[in-house]
Amino acid sequence: MTGIGALTPLANTAKGTWEAMKAGKSGIERITLFDSGTCRTHFAGEVKNLDISSVIDRKDANRMDRYSILAIMASDEALKDSLLDLDKEDRNRIGVIWGTGMGGMMTLESELSAFGRGDGTPRFSPFYIPKAIGNMGGANVSLHFGLRGISYTTVAACASSSQSIADAFNYIRMGKATAILSGGCEAGISFSGIGGFGSMHACSLRNDSPETASRPFSKSRDGFVLSEGSACLVLEEMEHALARGAKIYAELVGAGMNADAYHTTAPEPEGKGAARAMMLALEDAGITPAEVDYINAHGTSTPLGDISEVRAIQHVWGEDAYRLSISSTKSMTGHMMGGAGAVEALACVMALKEGIVPPTINHEEGDDDPQIDYRLNFTFNKAQKRSLRYALSNTFGFGGHNACLLFKHF
């Protein structure tokens, strides 16, 4: 990892996001992007004070959905941070592998709403399809920076951007690319997004206290908090990075992906698929569970998901699980869906670099779930300093998609 960029509910930069995570701040507030008055949930994690003027021409921005704009902004920061001089690089060997869960939700909703208010005659913007389709987040990154290497988008619900990073890792180690911009984005805070997840009873209803609504591993958790955002990691071949004297945040050394094949939305109760994915990542890196010090948990704050993940961790680590540091940064960012894995990969990379484990906030004394073993260190409410060798990022998505990324201190 030689460059990172991010826009999240916490901050509009990677550094700002990480500083807020360390401080245990919440980025969840009442929704401003649309009138949520008739919805069950009235809060979300929005990207705030978005200023695109220094990166994207307004005319170009009008031809993009918000999720593509977030992708370009995060990628611009990551590229600048990496100090890759594209004019001196072979752009045929620099690619973009991106992830999203829902694509251009805002465009889809606005265009179909306008059609529904009309007389039935098809009147759509000529930019409707290229704004809405799911590949355009990554495609617009490729177009914006003139990157002609491998370019595609992974769609695996909440595991999307973790899968995109895993794929980038594999293409680079196969010698197919020198560097790949990889990550993900989501911008689904809309009437249909909040309303759709609300109809599934998936979202928290803590409308009187949005900032405390995401509370992973606490008994009072009542659903996830929908968020938007984007993060980009510049993955680079080690020899190339060393030769140009690049700063290196961490190494990506293993990836594990599989499927539960159990249910469309619910996790396998004992976490069997998640446990296998974690083991696949460890086996890919050639290390044992005992060498891992930190797990950035999927930790969505849902009644079923948190229990399943805890069981998966205990299955893999056994008694050694009590030595681990575990935290869910979704307690601060909310759930960025297709962008979640990339933002949480950023958290792992920075945790390794600085030796600081970000907290799981919003846990209160006595709010203990009898189905969760609290001898585990969930890093509740306050960041902890610790020397870290390896950090594992877990992402598990609707449809049973599991993706785990293993990072090593450099």
Q: Evaluate whether 186 touches 69 at the Cβ level (below 8 Å).
A: no
Measured CA to CA, the distance from residue 396 to residue 104 in angstroms comes to 22
Q: Evaluate whether 71 touches 126 at the Cβ level (below 8 Å).
A: no
Instruction: Pick the closest to residue 328 from 369, 380, 366 (CA basis).
Output: 380
What DSSP letter does each residue of 12-31 carry, written as one string?
SSHHHHHHHHHHT----EE-
Measured CA to CA, the distance from residue 183 to residue 138 in angstroms comes to 9
Cβ-based neighbour number of residue 159 at 10 Å: 33
Question: Does residue 75 come out as left (phi exceeding 0), alpha (psi in the -120 to 50 range) or beta?
Answer: alpha
What tokens appear for 254 in the block? Answer: 């293993």
Strand order in the sheet with 3-7: 3-7, 229-236, 179-186, 94-99, 151-154
SS3 annotation, 213-270: CCCCCECCCCCECEECEEEEEEEECHHHHHHCCCCCCEEEEEEEEEECCCCCCCCCCC
Rg (CA), the chain: 20
Return the exposure string of 282-313: e unless at least 16 CB atoms fall within 10 Å of the residue's CB, then b: bebbebebeebbbbbbbbbbbeebbbbbbbbb
- DSSP annotation of 327: E
SS3 content of the chain, % helix, strand, coil (to 5): 40, 20, 40
Return the exposure string of 323-356: e unless at least 16 CB atoms fall within 10 Å of the residue's CB, then b: ebbbbbbbbbbbbbbbbbbbbbbbbbbbbbbeeb
Catalytic residues: 158, 298, 335
To which residue do tokens 């902890």 refer?
Answer: 384
